[in-house]
Amino acid sequence: MKITEFDHRRISELVERARLDVDEVIGPVADIISMVREGGDGALRELTQKFDGVTVDNFRVSQEEIDEAHENLDQGVKEALMEAAMNIEEFHRMQMPSDWMSEVRPGVMAGQVVRPLESVGCYIPGGRAVYPSTILMTVIPARIAGVERIVCCTPPAGDGSVPDAVLVAADMAGAHEIHRVGGAQAVAAMAYGTETIRSVDKIVGPGNIFVTAAKKLVYGEVDIDFPAGPSEVLIIADETAIPEYIALEILAQAEHDPQAASVLVTDSRDLALEVKGMVHENIKYMERANIIRESLERYGMIVLTADIDEAVEFSNAYAPEHLVIMTDSPEETLEGIRNAGSIFLGDLSPVAAGDYGSGTNHVLPTSGCARMYSGLSTESFIKKPTVQRITREGLQNLKGSVLKLAEYEGLQAHAESFRRRLRD
């Protein structure tokens, strides 16, 4: 990991690293989307053979395969999934908003109702690792919101199967369909539909640069959650933080992917040097050491600031996916934070807790998108139509503003539609 002094000129350079640039793959991804849109299942089979090296006859996973996965999966893993699912459910139920109506003025009632999306597609990444936890994070909030049709798409293994843990998690969470197809072609299938996979209203879930590009391209035809690129963590720490915990947090983030970013921002040079030493000393004990080394060489950084206020300034500019605050008073430091996907307070709150067990969602905005997006939540799967009911008294109370503004804007029929009701 590189150590650098805080410099305003360097902020933009470091932050730009976090902006996932999909321009270089937009062209090929657009071609993939066109193929699927025009060729349906046939195009999906061709692309799955090309990119995954797998011949798939039937994309939809059968109930027999799901039942077999339940029998095969280690009982300890099943129990861990069940415990995580219960915490995720409890947390996301608390996010569910309610209908409401209020009297704005006498005779003028206005409010909103809550309605679920009808169908949702959950993209579950595969490849380097198996991610049953992401199934729980995407499907459970959709089910709580009341979505009628929840579809999961995930890349097939080399033999065309889907990992047992993924199938069990999907079944446990309440998914209605599971399909063995991944990449940009899966996003295209969920957006436009094929003979096997009907289109959905919204696509959520993380993925690689091709999946992210595909989600951007189909946005408008369907809704998406947000662009979600390589994972990232930023740690704000002062001299009171425990160096070993920080080092392990950095290693945990770096093992995700060679493109994952790990940044420590601190006002303590001694802490910075100690953490750097611990990181490099412990890499050799990690199973994914090669991935960690590549990630830290490219995107590992320790930034030295004059004080914690300056560290907070840097963090807000970076807008990290995961923000860990290890300071003497993390709640006080939190008061200055404006931009972050998910925040972990204190030495005893590792990102892994949020990834798997605490109940908060781990599908989060990356690449600086935490400046304008929140993480996935129950509200990601609902709509809130507004409602109004107006009485004759309400018409009288509104006539001054409504008639004056309608006539000022030259919309005669608007004014007359209101005036006619006054006459009646």
Annotated catalytic residue, options 249, 321, 379, 393: 321
pLDDT score at 128: 62
Q: Give the active site residue among 322, 331, 332, 379.
A: 322
Per-residue pLDDT of the chain (424 residues; tens, 9 = 90+): 888 888 776 666 666 654 556 778 999 999 999 999 999 999 999 999 999 999 999 999 999 999 999 999 999 999 999 999 999 999 999 999 999 999 999 999 999 999 999 999 999 998 667 889 999 999 999 999 999 999 999 999 999 999 999 999 999 999 999 999 999 999 999 999 999 999 999 999 998 889 999 999 999 999 999 877 788 999 999 999 999 999 999 999 999 888 899 999 999 999 999 999 999 999 999 999 999 999 999 999 999 999 999 999 999 999 999 999 999 999 999 999 999 999 999 999 999 999 999 999 999 998 888 999 999 999 999 999 999 999 999 999 999 999 999 999 999 999 999 999 998 8
Q: Is 30 helix (H, G, I), strand (E, B) or coil?
A: helix
Note the CATH architecture for domain 2-20+230-359. Answer: 3-Layer(aba) Sandwich (3.40)
Q: Do domains 2-20+230-359 and 23-224 have the same CATH topology?
A: yes
Give the separation between CA 185 and CA 210, rounded to whole angstroms: 9
Point out which residues pair with 326 in neighbouring strands: 237
176 labeled binding residue: no
The pLDDT value recorded for residue 22 is 73
Q: Are 115 and 84 in contact (CB under 8 A)?
A: no
408 labeled binding residue: no
208 annotated to bind ligand: yes
**Residue 155 and residue 183 in contact, taking contact as beta carbons nearer than 8 Å:** yes
Q: Say which amino acid occupies 292.
A: I
Report pLDDT for 398: 97
259 annotated as belonging to a binding site for a ligand? no
C-alpha 397/C-alpha 415 separation (Å) is 15
Among this protein's residues, is 176 annotated catalytic? no
CA 419 to each of CA 18, 188, 400, 404: distance values in angstroms, whole numbers, following the listed order: 55, 49, 11, 11
What spatial distance separates the first Cα and last Cα of the chain, rounded to whole Å?
A: 76
Q: Is residue 409 annotated as involved in ligand binding?
A: yes
Q: Per residue in 386-404, is it b (16+ CB within 10 Å) or e — as a string? A: eeeebeeebbebbeeebbe
Q: Is 355 annotated as a binding residue?
A: yes
- The DSSP bridge partners found for residue 303 are 4, 265
b/e per residue 188-224 (b: at least 16 CB within 10 A): bbbbbebeebebbbbbbbbbbbbbbbbbbbbeeebbb
> What length does the chain have?
424
- Would you say 400 and 423 are in contact if contact means Cβ atoms under 8 Å apart? no
The answer to the question of whether 231 is labelled as a binding residue is yes
Pairwise CA distance, residues 424 & 421, whole Å:
5
Enumerate the domain spans of the chain.
2-20+230-359, 23-224, 391-423
Residue type, 67: D
Integer Cα distance of 200 and 84 in angstroms: 27
Structure tokens at 179: 């399909």
Residue 20: enclosing H or E segment and its boundaries?
none
Confirm whether 310 is a catalytic residue.
no
CB 237 within 8 A of CB 273: no
- Report d(CA 254, CA 293) in Å as an integer: 8
Chosen CATH of 23-224 out of 3.90.850.10, 3.20.20.120, 2.60.40.420, 3.40.50.1980 = 3.40.50.1980
Annotated ligand binding at 280? The verdict is: no
Tokens at 193, concatenated: 């539909």
Torsion over CA: 85, 88, 94, 96 (sign): negative
Q: What is the pLDDT of residue 376?
A: 97
Residue 26, token pair as written in the block: 């937009």
